[in-house]
Structure formats: C-alpha cells, structure tokens
C-alpha cells in the first residue's frame, strides 16, 4: 500500500448518551513504570507522538503504518455536486459495506492525489448503494479523479464495543487496570507489551494471530474472569473488537519502544549526573591527596634514616599543597554544580529538539516497520504450530512415557508443577530475580512479565486456560506460555514425546494415584481459581 500520507482521523462523536462533559475521563494514560526513569521532556515528546499517531480514545487516529484492518476504503472521486461526492471504490476495499451510514459522521476522507493531496474533508454520511459521500462544508473541494482513503469504521465500532464490554477490566489504554481489575485474580491482561499468553504461533516473541484473539474473546479463558463473549457478540463485532485490541496493543508497544529508547539517551537524572561528575572527580582528587599525605606520614614515622628526613618533609609539604589545591578545586566544582546542571539541561533540551526534527521519524519508521513485520508474520501461512505427526494414541504406555518425561531432567515439568501436578513444585518456593530490573522479587515464587506473582497450573483440576484440545496442549508444551515462566519444551524432545506428555497431562485429573484433597498451599493471592473441571 502506498503510504504517502500518514493517517486518517476516526472521530467518535460524543453524541451518544453517557459521554458527558469534555470526556476528560476518557484519556490514555502513560505507562508510568516505563516512563519513570525517562526525562520529563522526553516523556512529553513520547506523549505528543502517541497523540499524533493514535489520537485520543474518543478521537482515534487510524495510523496506516500499523498492521490493523481499520475498515479502510480506497477509491477515486467520479463526480461532485455541492456537498455530495460520488466515488468508485477499489475492488479490494469493499469493507465499507455492512456499516451504518451514520458510522461515517465525523470521519475524514483523505485525498491522496490531485491538488488537495494530503488534505482531508469531514464526512457526514455514506450511501452504500449510490456510492456517495455527503461531506461537511469545507474549503477543500475534491476534484474528479482524485484518489482518496476513507473509513476506519472497524476501529470506531471496536472502540464502542471495547468501551462497553472490555474497558472496565482491561482499561482505556489496554493497561489491564480498569476499575474492576483490582478485584480480579489473575489480573486482566495488560496489552501494552503486545504479549498474549495463549497463541498458536512459535517462540516467546510470536504475536497472537487474529484467530487466537478471536478464540480467547469468543470462548473465554476457563479458570479466570475472562468470560466467553459468543454468542453475545456477533461476527462483525468480534472482528471490530479484535482490531481495536490489536490497535491498543500496538499503541502500547510503540510507547514501550520509544520510552525504552529515551531511557538510554534522555534519562531523568542525566543532567544531575553530568553536573555531579566534576564534583565527584574533585572529591576523588581530594581523597587521593589525603591518602598521599597519610602515606608520607607513615613513611616518616617508620623512617630512621636522618638524611632522608628533609626530603620527606619536603614531599609532605608538596602533598599538602596538592591537597589544598584539590580542596579548592572541589569548592569550585561545588559552586558551579547548579550552573552545570542548568547547562546540561539545556544541552539535553537542544539534543532532544534536534532528535525530534531529525531522528524521531526514522525511529518511528523503524519501530512500526518492525512491529508490522512481527504482527503480519503470524498471519502468514505456515506460521501456525502444527505438530509433525498426529497425536500418539492415548494409551497406558504413552501416558507412562509422558509421566517419565514429566519427572525427567529434560522436560522437568515437576520442578514447577510439582510431584502431584498441583502446581506446587520446588521452584515455587524459591526467590527469583526480575530479569528486566535485575532485582530480586519481593516474595518467593514465580512471576510473569507483568511482575505479577503467578502459580504454575494445577494440572489435577482439568482446567486448561489456553484450551483443552490436544493441539492447544501441544502448542503450550512446545512454545511455552508467552510472558510467563512456562518455557517451550527443549528442541531435543521429539513430537511423539510431546504427545506422550500431552496424554499424560490430560490424564492427571483422572489419575487415581493423584492425591485428591488440595493442600492449603498459597502463593501470594492465588485463591482466585475456582470451579470443577472445565
């Protein structure tokens, strides 16, 4: 697709009831954990970029560089009469059908060729049969044969549905921190890392496919508070919500990347650090001078040779002078510190401004390009994890093999899932290290990429969050669960061995040797899982 233009605005008019005032409650919030170590000026730059490319919740921007199906329509103007623009849509952009004419109120039509290239007109309605747009009065008048882009209805529709069904848990920004979130365990997903746990795609970095999201939204996640939305949501509604969630995830990821980049170059304490540097240097010079005097003193004390005394006294004098000079230098450095800090702040500001002018666009290009590649890659044929062989028939022997693997050194499931598969393995008693911050976790046990305590699945319950089909378990076993300590099986395991493990895991709830009564074992706040097998 040609991306000469950047984006089109997909306003969500506040005409609906329940959207009172200026909508100030509806704001995207900053990823504060990430933003904290970043300089406030750099944070402003990030916020500005996000607002430019994503808009606000009520005035979303369909940034065309993102791998989101906004419901875009492309075509050319064939006639124009007063405010009515008759158009011809390109063959492949038939996705305007199925939307109410009213959905177009307030959206923009972006002209991509002709005299008004890059300009937009605001639309009032769209007549699907006559293929005409009604546009609001504007200085910009499209001409016949002008190319255009319009639409974004999927995003609008998704926004409304998300607000109604998802937002109270997953939050306006998709940060998993809506008003009802704090009552839930496990916590609702924070999309902003672009990580979704249960996917059918490879590796820890594999994004979720649209079908993965559809499955989760449609079927829910048993054992959690994510309910099933089918049949309440119809097909088109599901599509809209999924695209909106992708859009939110991408927004979070762009924010993540930008803040990550700025943390290196524009740290919050950069100016202070720079200003303190001469002081630190002077301080160490003073320390060294003091040390030198001390050494000379010791030499003098130990000295019995009269002839050397004069020489030593001389060097002591010299050392004292050096100390005085160093102390003077330190005083000077201290007095200049605040000026230096101001200077450093100024320098940072200039550098940031320059970067905004020169490097930022490139960085964004790189970030979005990379994200688009990743999200698009999983939609391609062959991205799905399909076992090399059909399931090994579920026999006693296969289960026995699986059990051996479960307890074996290679797969080592027992380490986390425990001897009885109850999710209380040795690893859950150990204090782990947060690989992102390098700090130890506050309490023993496992943690996920969102820094939430997480308990290995209790396999005796027969509740399978990512689905109970053999293929689901195969994928969990081979690819791990994204964002969690559940790793993918080592590559040395053969498909039939994975199937043996699947067969064993599926048999655990019915294994008479499994102790039935659950021990009152508790890892921080893991009381939320309820229910019998399902």
> Footprint of another protein on this chain (CB under 8 A)?
165, 168, 180, 219-220, 222, 225, 227-232, 385-387, 389-391, 393-396, 399, 462, 468-471, 474, 499, 506-507, 509-510, 530-534
Least distance to another protein, CB of residue 234, Å: 12
**Chain mean position to CA 15:** 32
Least distance to another protein, CB of residue 14, Å: 23
Q: Give the residue with the Cβ less far from another protein, 227 or 515.
A: 227
How far, in Å, CA of 325 to CA of 322, rounded?
A: 5
Among 249, 212, 250, 216, which residue's Cα sits nearest to residue 233? 216
Among 441, 446, 414, which residue's Cα sits nearest to residue 428? 446
Q: Where are the alpha helices (DSSP H) in 358-421?
A: 360-377, 396-407, 414-417
Least distance to another protein, CB of residue 213, Å: 16
Q: Token match 């997953």: residue?
A: 170
Residue 218 CB contacts under 8 Å (≥ 6 apart), including other chains: 228, 229, 230, 233, 238
Other Cβ atoms within 10 Å of 429 Cβ, number = 11
How far, in Å, CA of 277 to CA of 390, rounded?
A: 64
Q: Give the residue with the Cβ less far from another protein, 436 or 530.
A: 530
Per-residue tokens: 503: 């067969």
Q: Give the residue with the Cβ less far from another protein, 450 or 499.
A: 499
Q: What is the bridge-based pairing of β-strands 446-447 and 84-89?
A: unpaired
Among 497, 504, 513, 502, which residue's Cα sits nearest to residue 410? 497
Least distance to another protein, CB of residue 498, Å: 11
Q: Give the residue with the Cβ less far from another protein, 324 or 386.
A: 386
Among 339, 225, 229, 232, which residue's Cα sits nearest to residue 279? 339
Least distance to another protein, CB of residue 499, Å: 8
Least distance to another protein, CB of residue 70, Å: 26
- Please spell the DSSP secondary structure of 315-338, one letter per residue: HHHHHHHHHHHHHHHHHHHHHHHH
Least distance to another protein, CB of residue 394, Å: 6
Least distance to another protein, CB of residue 201, Å: 13
Q: Give the residue with the Cβ less far from another protein, 377 or 471.
A: 471
How far, in Å, CA of 387 to CA of 9, rounded?
A: 43
Q: Give the residue with the Cβ less far from another protein, 468 or 521.
A: 468
My answer on whether omega of the bond before 231 falls inside 30° of 0, hence cis, is yes
Q: Give the residue with the Cβ less far from another protein, 229 or 450.
A: 229
Q: Give the residue with the Cβ less far from another protein, 26 or 502.
A: 502
Rg (CA), the chain: 31
Q: Give the residue with the Cβ less far from another protein, 245 or 416.
A: 245
How far, in Å, CA of 209 to CA of 352, rounded?
A: 37
How far, in Å, CA of 24 to CA of 189, rounded?
A: 24
Least distance to another protein, CB of residue 41, Å: 40
Span between the terminal Cα atoms of the chain, in Å: 45
* Beta strand segments in 461-505, E: none
Q: Give the residue with the Cβ less far from another protein, 329 or 529.
A: 529
Q: Give the residue with the Cβ less far from another protein, 450 or 474.
A: 474
Least distance to another protein, CB of residue 243, Å: 21
Q: Give the residue with the Cβ less far from another protein, 87 or 392.
A: 392
Residues 412-420: contacts with CB under 8 Å, at least 24 apart: 413/501, 416/446, 416/456, 416/485, 416/486, 417/456, 417/457, 417/459, 418/456, 420/460, 420/514, 420/515
| Residues forming a β-bridge with 73 | 150
Q: What are phi and psi of 178, to 5 degrees?
A: -75, 175
Least distance to another protein, CB of residue 511, Å: 10
Least distance to another protein, CB of residue 385, Å: 8
């Amino acid at each position: 697709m040609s991306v000469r233009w950047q984006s089109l605005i997909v306003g969500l008019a506040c005409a609906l009831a329940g959207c009172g005032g200026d909508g100030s409650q509806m704001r995207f919030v900053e990823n504060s954990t990430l933003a904290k170590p970043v300089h406030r000026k750099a944070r402003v730059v990030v916020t500005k970029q996000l607002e430019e490319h994503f808009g606000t919740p009520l005035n979303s921007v369909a940034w065309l560089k993102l791998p989101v199906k906004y419901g875009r329509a492309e075509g050319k103007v064939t006639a124009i009469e007063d405010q009515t623009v008759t158009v011809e849509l390109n063959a492949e952009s038939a996705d305007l059908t199925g939307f109410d004419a009213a959905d177009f109120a307030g959206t923009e039509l972006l002209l991509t060729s002709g005299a008004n290239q890059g300009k937009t007109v605001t639309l009032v309605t769209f007549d699907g049969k006559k293929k005409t747009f009604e546009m609001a009065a504007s200085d910009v008048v499209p001409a016949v044969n002008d190319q255009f882009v319009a639409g974004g209805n999927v995003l609008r529709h998704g926004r409304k549905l998300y607000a109604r069904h998802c937002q109270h848990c997953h939050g306006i920004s998709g940060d998993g921190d809506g008003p009802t979130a704090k009552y839930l365990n496990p916590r609702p997903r924070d999309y902003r890392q672009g990580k979704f746990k249960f996917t059918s795609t490879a590796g820890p970095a594999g994004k979720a496919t649209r079908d993965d999201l559809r499955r989760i939204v449609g079927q829910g996640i048993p054992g959690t508070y994510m309910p099933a939305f089918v049949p309440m949501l119809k097909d088109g509604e599901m599509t809209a919500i999924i695209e909106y969630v992708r859009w939110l995830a991408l927004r979070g990821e762009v924010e993540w990347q930008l803040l990550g980049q700025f943390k290196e170059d524009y740290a919050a304490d950069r100016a202070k650090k720079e200003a303190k540097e001469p002081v630190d240097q002077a301080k160490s010079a003073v320390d060294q001078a003091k040390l030198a005097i001390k050494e000379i003193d010791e030499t003098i004390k130990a000295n019995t040779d009269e002839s050397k005394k004069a020489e030593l006294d001389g060097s002591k004098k010299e050392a004292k002078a050096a100390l005085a000079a160093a102390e003077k230098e330190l005083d000077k450095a201290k007095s200049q510190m605040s000026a230096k800090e101001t200077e450093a702040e100024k320098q940072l500001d200039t550098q940031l401004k320059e970067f905004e002018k020169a490097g930022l666009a490139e960085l964004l290009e790189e970030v979005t390009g990379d994200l688009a590649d990743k999200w698009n890659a999983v939609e391609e044929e062959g991205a799905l994890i399909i076992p090399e062989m059909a399931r090994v028939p579920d026999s006693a022997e296969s289960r026995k093999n699986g059990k051996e693997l479960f307890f074996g050194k290679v797969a080592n499931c027992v380490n986390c899932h425990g001897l009885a598969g109850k999710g209380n393995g040795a690893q859950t008693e150990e204090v782990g290290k947060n690989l992102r911050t390098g700090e130890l976790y506050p309490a023993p046990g496992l943690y996920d990429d969102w820094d939430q305590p997480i308990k290995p699945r209790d396999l005796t319950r027969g509740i399978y969050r990512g689905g109970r089909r053999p293929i689901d378990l195969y994928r969990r076993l081979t690819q791990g669960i994204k964002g969690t300590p559940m790793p993918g099986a080592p590559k040395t395991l053969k498909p039939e061995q994975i199937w043996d493990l699947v067969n064993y895991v599926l048999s655990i709830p019915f294994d008479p040797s499994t102790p039935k009564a659950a021990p009152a074992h508790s890892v921080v706040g893991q009381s939320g899982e309820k229910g019998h097998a399902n």
